[in-house]
Amino acid sequence: MGKDDIADIARWLWREVDPGDWSGEVLRPLAEGRGRLVPVQEHERRYAGDREYRGLVVPISLDGEPAAAFRRHAGAVEEAIGAADSVGSHGPIGPWYERSPDWGAPFLRWRRPGAESLELRAAETGAELSLQPTEPYEEWRQAAFEWGEPSQLPGGFVIEYLDAANEGLSTPGGWRVPRWTALPALLSAFLRTLPAETYAIGRNVGVTAFGGSREIIAIRSAERLTVEGWFNYFSPGEGLGWSQRVERTRRSWTFDAGGPGDVDGDWLARHLVEVLKTEKVSSVAKLGKHVHRLENAHTVLLGLGF
């Protein structure tokens, strides 16, 4: 599927399709030969109300390396209908508790408050453009964070632009685990796919972790995932992959964790937790963070774990 095809589908869904009351009577003629309809399940009724369907989905193939293919499609859609109102990753658990692809779960979303949203997202079979009612998904996401356990939570991250389309949008904060032993699993899932996701959406994500008022590590992801550290007690030994650099009078260490598909999330998460503990951070409760902001945007790291 070429760039022009993707652009045509996006324009059709966002500018021409009128889903009305989201009934089969309205949607079936629209979907015939072009996409599939997602019916509302009984357990979703509390969010979807009387709607019969909660999505009109057009599948899109990802040819070649998935992050690069997704980025090409994202560029075509933004060129066709304008910049997305929010971008990010759904994490291991996607919308409505659907399983995310193993390589990552990037998305771009265009939002009409109180009406419809269009989302380009990764799927297990490639990618998809999904037109959906705005309120049911946002209400489900809020409830999932209020009542869910960490293993059931939508994770990932979201970058929301401060524009009129996001007026009234309520985004939950990230889940903070209570103990060191609970952090590696969540941190691993977050870091393993992060460079694929940031590359796929064409944005960067960064967070600095503090022990008290002191910077200890900064995690940054764009086309590759890197970690910078400022250590008082931890000594990077031979073979751990850290390289030293001195800027003016301040010494730091950097670690290149890899690009899309290269990150060993389990090892990196365990290693960073040990670094933080060695640096005398006594508990997760004492671990602070500063999320780096993009211009005119708000970034929430939903699946980071601290």
Report pLDDT digits (tens) over 48-66: 999 999 999 999 999 999 9
The answer on 188 and 296 residing in a single domain is yes
User: What range defines the domain where residue 243 resides?
Assistant: 180-300
Q: How far apart are CA 216 and CA 211, in angstroms?
A: 7
Residues 59 and 144 in one domain: yes
Same domain, 120 and 204: no
293 lies in some domain: yes
The CB density around residue 173, as the number of other CB atoms within 10 Å, is: 9
- Residue 129 forms part of a structural domain: yes
Residue 102: CB atoms within 10 Å:
12
Residues 138, 196, single domain; the answer is no
Residues 125 and 150 in one domain: yes
Cα 70 to its chain centre, rounded Å, is 14
DSSP string, 31-69: HTTT-EEEEPPGGGHHHHTT-SEEEEEEEE---SSHHHH
Radius of gyration over alpha carbons of the chain, in Å? 20
Q: 290 and 194, same structural domain?
A: yes
Q: What residue type is 152 in one-letter code?
A: Q
Is residue 173 in a domain?
no
What does residue 66 show for φ and ψ, rounded to 5 degrees?
-65, -40
Question: Are residues 51 and 129 both part of a single domain?
Answer: yes
Q: Is residue 261 part of a domain?
A: yes
Domain finish residue from 134, 164, 194: 164
Is residue 151 located within the same domain as residue 191?
Answer: no
Q: What is the per-residue burial (b if ≥16 Cβ within 10 Å, else e) of 9-41?
A: bbebbbeebebeebeeeebeebbeeebebbebe
| Inside any domain, residue 201 | yes
Strand partners, 123: 126
Distance CA 65, CA 85 (A): 26
pLDDT in tens, 171-183: 777 778 889 999 9
What integer pLDDT is reported at residue 237 of this predicted model?
74
Using N-to-C axis directions, what is the helix angle for 265-278 and 183-192, rounded to 10°?
130
Whole-number Å distance between alpha carbons of 210 and 218: 9
> Final residue of a domain: which of 100, 135, 164?
164
Q: Of 164, 191, 211, which marks where a domain is finished?
A: 164
What is the Cα–Cα distance from 302 to 91, expressed in whole angstroms? Answer: 9
Q: Are 24 and 156 members of one domain?
A: yes
Dist. CA 221–CA 255, nearest whole Å? 12
Q: In this structure, are 8 and 116 located in the same domain?
A: yes
Ordered per-residue pLDDT tens for the chain, 306 residues:
788 999 999 999 999 999 999 999 999 999 999 999 999 999 899 999 999 999 999 999 999 999 999 999 999 999 999 999 999 999 998 888 899 999 999 999 999 887 999 999 999 999 999 999 999 999 988 887 777 666 566 679 999 999 999 988 877 777 788 899 999 999 999 999 999 999 999 999 999 999 988 999 999 999 999 999 999 999 987 678 999 887 777 789 999 999 999 999 999 999 999 999 999 999 999 999 999 999 999 999 988 889
Structural domain tally of the chain?
2
Say if 175 falls within a structural domain: no
State residue 150's pLDDT score. Answer: 60
In a domain, 174, yes or no: no
Shared-domain flag, residues 130 and 226: no
- Which of the 8 DSSP states describes residue 154? -
Q: Are strands 106-111 and 250-258 parallel, antiparallel or unpaired?
A: unpaired
Residue 186, classified by CB atoms within 10 Å of its CB into exposed (0-12), middle (13-18) or buried (19+), is buried
Does residue 169 lie within any of the structural domains? no
* 255 touches 245 (CB < 8 A): no
Ordered strands of the 297-300 beta sheet: 36-39, 53-60, 126-133, 116-123, 106-111, 86-89, 157-161, 297-300
Q: What is the dihedral of CA 95, 258, 127, 61, to 10 degrees?
A: -160
Q: 226 and 90 share a domain?
A: no
Q: How far apart are CA 163 and CA 214, in angstroms?
A: 34
